[in-house]
Each structure stands twice: as structure tokens, then as C-alpha cells.
Amino acid sequence: MSDLKIQQHLAALPVADPDPQESAEWRDALASLLQAAGPARVRQIMDMLAAAARDPAVGWQPERGTPYVNSIPAAQQPPFPGDLAIEERLASLMRWNALAMVVRANQAYGELGGHIASYASAADLFEVGFNHFFRAGGEQGGGDLVFFQPHSAPGVYARAFLEGRLSEADLAHYRQEIGAARAGVRGLSSYPHPWLMPDFWQFPTGSMGLGPISSIYQARFMRYLAHRGLLDTTGRKVWGVFGDGEMDEPESMSALTLAAREKLDNLIWVVNCNLQRLDGPVRGNGRIIDELEALFAGAGWRVIKLVWGSDWDGLFARDTEGALVQTFSRTVDGQLQTFAAKDGRYNREHFFGQNPQLAALAQGLTDEQIDRLKRGGHDLVKIYAAYHAAARSTGQPTVILAQTKKGYGMGEAGQGRMTTHQQKKLEREDLIAFRNRFDLPLSDEAAASLSYVKPAADSPELRYLHARRAALGGTLPSRRTQAEPVPVPALERYGSFALQAEGKEMSTTMAFVRMLGGLLKDAALGPRVVPIVADEARTFGMANLFKQVGIYAFNGQSYEPEDIGSLMSYREARDGQILEEGISEAGAVSSWTAAATSYSVHGQPMLPFYIYYSMFGFQRIGDQIWAAADQRARGFLLGATAGRTTLGGEGLQHQDGHSLLQAAQIPNCRAYDPCFAGEFAVILDHGMRRMLEAQEDVFYYVTLMNESYAQPTLPQDVAADVIRGLYRYGEQRPSGAACGRVRLVGSGTILREAIAAAELLARDWGVAGEVWSATSFSELAREAREVERWNRLHPQAAPRTSHVRHCLDGEPPVVAASDYVRAWPQLALAYVDAPVTVLGTDGFGRSDTRAALRGFFEVDRHQIVLAALTALRNEGRVNAAACAEAIARYGIATEQPAPWER
């Protein structure tokens, strides 16, 4: 830093100086130290002074901010290693082709949407990464992970077009994926979606805020794999290009301290600060770059500000009085946006005209030159300097705050305009102006007709483009779809106790933990198991695993735990296997996603088990689970303490009665609600084989209960029906002739109420009752939908019958009860050709005993008996007096409001 630079920085501080002479002496001393000993010594002295100034007697707290200038002075920039002219031409081509693709789509179908302005602002940030930093992994794995700003997806397609990975016909089907399939070409998804483009996009970033938190936990999971000796991740980086408006999402900011705490220097964020969100300025009356600098620096990140382009270097050099820095310190983002939207003449008058010092700096510049003064995020040389510094940073993550103009180059049609985010169509004169702005090789007619520009294969531009990607390992983005299969141990090796339970009492949560312990000991699969908890391991009975496999901690355990002599001692280790995420479901599911997609991202199949309070899953982090589904995650989500009446005492906020219904909405999620440990064991075995051996892109959500009860031995011939979602558990017959017959269907713990109800019906009411265990109403519904569709589309073929209809169709009434809202069983029972009554736990939870809760929600054995008798009354099998007698015998309240009204 030069003496002049020090003067400029200090001049920006708006503090009244009571002793200017003394202050000047301090500045002179600092400048002399810098000249004599260099910047490293200056930093050391300043750190010492700062430590002393924090003494309570002084009470000094530093501001988390620096002047509104670049963090890397021009004199410290590394040489630009590329061909600047060619890279600028390539960036111009990307901008044009991205614009043409979006505008063409909206000229054809105005409803399609798309975005031009975001990529216009981010193009140079992307291109420096593509040409110099983003390393591909190729077939052997490795390489960098890149999270792309979703609204800039058209620019990534434009690059893939020049690379030859996408054709013009593909570009013609931007946001037209269904039509593309009919035309035999590739449709391009609106945003990055691995489900829709499985060999192209790696990470779904379309839901704002999820890309940032996911990138942090992906970087952390890379370290986890390395520290456990499973993968060499040396030199690999995680890059995230995000928007400044996106930083307002809680998920964007919630894990910043984790990244710093774990010293994730493999993580680099580039925040595209174009100062605008969808409707207007991000911080119209403030400065988002200053705000983000303080937040990231306070969280422990290295902050690199990339504010002004090279055109400003000469102005700063001539500004001996610090007028520029002082003016920037007073200029808010709303005004900077106005400057971006206006031309050079306006900026001369309204920016440089603010005082004589600024006006003098602008002398000699034409209005056009003022108009072309670049912000830092549009200057390839400045961007390279920032990326170069970030890539070599050690000991902490880095964020680059890059100032750009939204709609850069769109002129009056969009640059800096409030409406630019919604701009999807451009007029002829706007297109020609854009052509002129970036000196594109297009005639007026070619520009007006939105012709794509692709240089010849042997042109300097394309040779350069391919050479740069070859030097960095290949093209990006690119996604691996498969990995080496992992053998799954025989079920009997870890789950025989559940299959042959013989009446032993346990909860399904206890059964899972025991099976997990067995899987961890398997030589082939064990190292790939990733147990994940959000600070509830002791609640779920997993504390014994602390000592067995250890809790992952990047720097090991530097203290002696108070329970060190215990069999369940809290053991942290650098190679620990458990990911203990603290009270952060968003963080835990981000870790789960990283592990569940490791087969694709790293070529390392892992098997994550994330166990949590079921209420705090889909309801709290449903958007992240949806994104994991988009990313083709493979693993188990385990909703523990599940069921609205099974988690006694905890009350309204904890008692889950709808997570299974939410899970059923996700196409590649297989949701189950098993009552018995044997059922769970069959589901676990089946899921592992589908995901690890067959490598299907599915994941499982299974509820686990904390209620202990006698576990029966699972009949050997029901495993297939357990997976299908329904099997016949048993039957109760009266001692004499039956007056009627019913089918009782129960899921989860409420199956036990159905079993008890069948006994009451047979003993007290002379009714025969079949009992059916419904392990998954959503799987039953999935197959029923498929059968119904097949029958509709094949009218001349013999109709098929779904499993649920095969089991339950007929005269006997069906009464179904679960610990969840009625809509969960109704997914499947709507297809049944029989009288159906559904009982469920619609409404808010309560704090009480399980028995009281089941009575309140009308899902206990007595309510099931009453429902069965009522169904038989409707069929003429019993009279109304029997129903009234049941109400009296069981003390059922008839005048209370419904549970969902209370």
C-alpha cells in the first residue's frame, strides 16, 4: 500500500479529528514502517495495537469494514496469463448467444420466461473461472465443484454450445423439455436441475439460499472423506457463484461460521453484487458490499472486494486528496444503480460534478469513456487477480464481493433498470445496440433475427476455448451418473434379532440403532455408512456409537470429556464417522445430501442415515429435501419420535402427523411407516440393495417410534408385500357364528390398536376381523396410480389389478387407522372398491399420555371398534343399538368438537 493509498483510506473515515497534527504523525509513522519493513510487518504491528486497544480500559471495537475500493491494489495484481482480447471476445459471444436463446424462446412462446440481465452481469465472473480456475474431474473423479448462480444458466448453455456439447436445436428448446423429447433433441431446463439433465448439472441451485449452504457442507464433506482416508481431495475447490440478493436467505448465512470454524480453505464464494434483486435495489439506502463484508469478516472469512475495474486505476492514482473514496463512502446502492442505468453525460454531471476535485479527475475523459468505466466484476484482469488470491488462501474460506451492473451491456433496454430482471424481449434497435456494444460479427438483419454466433472450429477463439478447458481437465458442468456398486451384507447378519423377535420388547428406534451398529461393523459397507444427527443422538439411544466409531471433528479432540471413563464417552476424532451437527436440521440435511450424492460428486458411494425428530424434517427443511431429490440423492431419512400420539408429552410443536404425506409428494422418495422391527429390517435391506447395488436414484423416508412393545417374529412369506406396502397380519374370529366381517388396516404403532380392536370385535360383538399391516400407503398409491394409468391407456388389454385392490376389494368394510392425518391412508384407499372408513390424527398435538392422545384423536381401539360397527350398520349387518351400546361401554364422548377443531 502506497503513502497515497494510506491517505485515501484514512480520508474516507468520517470522524472529526480533534488533533490533526498528531494524526498526521501517526499516518507518517505507518507510511514509514510500510516503506521500511513491508506490509507483513505493518499487519503484525496493527494486530498488536488492536489487541492492546481491546483492553477494557480502552474499550475499542474495530469496524468490520474497509473503504469502497478493491482489496487487491493494482501494484499487487499478478500478471494476467491469458489472451485478454480473445477472452473478451468469447465473453461477448456468450452474452449474445445467451440473450438470443432467451429472447427466441419468448418470441415463440411468451409464457416461457427466462433471464437475460443476471448472466449479463455475471458473464465475466464465469468466464475467468472457466478459462483459468474451474477444474474438471473427468472420468476418474476429482476436480472442483461449481455452484452456478441459477438465473445465469443461459450463459452456461451458451458456453456449452460453443464447446460443441449442445447444438443449435438444443438451444431452440430452452425451457421446452417436453417438446424437445418429441423432437429428438435435448431440452434445456430453466435452472440447474440434475434430475432433468442428469449428465450435465451437478447441483440444483434454483431455490435461493440452498446453493450457498449446500456448497459449505459439500466442502466440509470433502474434508470428512479425506480425514477418514476414503478419498484424496488435495487441491480440490468448491466454488459458488451467488447473487447479492440471495444473501438475504437465512440458509445463505446460517453456516458461515461452520465454514470458518472448520477452516474450509477449499471453499470460495463469488457474490455477484449487481446491487439489484427482482423488484429493485438490494440495499437502496445502504451498501450491500459493506454489509456483506462485515458479515463475512465477522464470521471468520477472508473477504476480497472487487469493486472497480482497471479504468479506475488512473483516476485513483491522480486522486491525491481522496475525493473518490470520500464520495464512494457517501454513495448508497440506489444511487449507484442510477449511475449504472444512465449514460456518460449524466455520470459526468451527477457523479463527477459533485465537487471540483472529482470534476478535475474527469477532465480529459469523453462522455463515452466515462460510460465505459467498468466495475470490478466486468474486468477480466481484476477478476483474475481476485480469483488468484482466493485460490491460494489458506486457513479460512474466502468470499469475493464483485460489483457488477445488472443487465450489463443492455443499454437503455435493461442496464441498471428496475425492471431488468423481468426483461425477456428486446426490440430491433436494442439488439443492434447490443451488437454494437460488444462488436459482434452480425449484420443488422442477423442481429434483429437473433442469429447465434459460433466461430469456425479452427478459429482462434474456439481453439483457445478448447485449449483452456483441456488444460483444466475437460468441460464443466458435468455429472457422473453411476459409481461402483457396493455389496450389501445379508439381512440375517445384522437384522436376525428383528426378524425372529419372538415377542421381545423394543422400539423400532432401538431396533434401527442395533442394526446400524451391525452395518458399521461390516468390512465392505461399514466404512461407507454415515450416521448423522442434529444433537439428538442420546434421545435416540445412539450414544454407544460415540466411542465405537467417534464423532467427526476436523481437529480431533483437544479436551478431556468429563465422561471419559464411560462406555458411552463423548469421543471426537479427526477420523470420526458420526456427523454430529448440533441444533441445525438445515445443516444436518445438507450433510446428508453431500453424503447421499457422493456416488456422483466424488465417485464414492456412501450410505447416509440422518435420524431426527420427524416433525423437524419435511415441515422444516422440505425445500432442501426436494433439492436433494432433484440431485438424485441416495440414502435414508429416519423420522424418529414419529406419530402424533406416539410421542407422548411433547405437545403441539413436536408431534408429527403429516410428514409421511409430505414425503409422498416427492417422486423418488419411498416413504414407510412400519410398526414392527422385522418390517423395518426388510425395508432397510431392500432400500440398500436398490441404492447401492442396483444404483437406483431413490431415497427412503422411514418413521421410527420411541414406544417399546412386544415385537413379533415376521412371517417368512410377507417380505415382498412389506415392500409393496400392505400384508395380511392375521385374523380374529368369534367363538360362535359371525354377524359380520371387517378388514382393519393399521400402520405404525396404530396397527397395535387395530389388532386389539379385532380382538374386541370378535369377543364382544361377534364380528370377524382381518388385520392388515400397511407399511406404506404412499407405495400402495404409487402402484395403484400406475395400474389405473396403464388400464386407461390400454383399453383393449386385460385390465390389471393393483395390490391394494387385490387385498381389500370386496364386500367387507375397510376401517383404516394411522397416527397421521387422514389424507395419508386416503392416498391408497381411494382406489379400493369397498366401503372405507379412515381414522387419523388431523389437528394440533397435545401434551398427555399415549392412551389419552389416542382417545382424543379417535384412533384408539375403541374408536376403531365403533367405526367397524358403524360400517356394518351401514351394510345392514348390525343394528344402531349395537353402536350406541359400544359408545356407552367405551365411554366415547359424542358432543365434543372434532379433534381438528380443538
Round to whole Å and give the CA distance between 640 and 650. 13
Edge-to-edge order in the sheet of strand 398-403 = 145-147, 238-243, 267-273, 398-403, 302-306
- The C-alpha atoms of residue 381 and residue 784 are separated, in whole angstroms, by 60
218: nearest Cα among 233, 228, 229, 199: 233
**Cα 161 to Cα 138: distance, rounded to the nearest angstrom:** 19
Task: Output phi, psi for 777, to 5 deg.
Answer: -70, -30
Instruction: Tell me the C-alpha distance between 652 and 642, whole Å.
Output: 13
Binding residues for Mg(2+): 244, 274, 276
Question: What is the rounded CA–CA span in Å between residue 4 and residue 754?
Answer: 83
Of 526, 516, 525, give the one whose Cα is nearest residue 486. Answer: 525
CA 576 to chain centre: 24
Q: Grid coordinates in use for 283?
A: 440495499
Do residues 361 and 315 lie in contact, with contact meaning Cβ atoms separated by under 8 Å? Answer: yes
The bridge status of strand 607-613 relative to strand 636-640 is parallel
868 close to 769: Cβ distance less than 8 angstroms: yes
| 364 grid coordinates | 480529459
Q: Is residue 729 helix, strand or coil?
A: strand
- Give whole-number Cα distances, 137 to 267, 268, 424, 473, in Å: 17, 18, 35, 6
DSSP string, 225-267: HHHTTS---TT--EEEEEETGGGGSHHHHTTHHHHHHTT-TTE
Could you list the residues known to form a binding site, using ranges.
Answer: 244, 274, 276
Residue 109 C-alpha cell reads as 412462446
DSSP 395: S
* Residue 552: strand, helix, or coil: strand
Secondary structure, 3-state, 427-465: CHHHHHHHHHHCCCCCCHHHHHCCCCCCCCCCCHHHHHH
* Long-range contacts from 345-352, C-beta under 8 angstroms, 24+ separation: 345/370, 347/371, 347/373, 351/327
* Spatial CA neighbour of 745 closest among 843, 673, 683, 680: 673
Closest CA to 14 of 331, 341, 298: 331
Closest CA to 512 of 605, 397, 638, 616: 638
Give the start-end residues of each E strand in 25-161: 145-147
The sign of the CA dihedral 842, 843, 847, 853 is negative
Q: Where are the alpha helices (DSSP H) in 529-630?
A: 544-549, 585-596, 598-601, 618-630
DSSP type of residue 376: G
Task: Report the alpha-carbon distance of residue 186 to residue 179 in Å, rounded.
Answer: 9
Q: How far is CA 643 from CA 120, 613, 750, 775, 849, in A?
A: 50, 10, 9, 14, 13
C-alpha dist (Å) from residue 670 to 33, 194, 522, 691, 819: 66, 19, 25, 12, 18
455 preceded by cis ω (within 30°)?
no
- From residue 457, give the alpha-carbon distance in Å to each of 136, 427, 873: 22, 31, 80
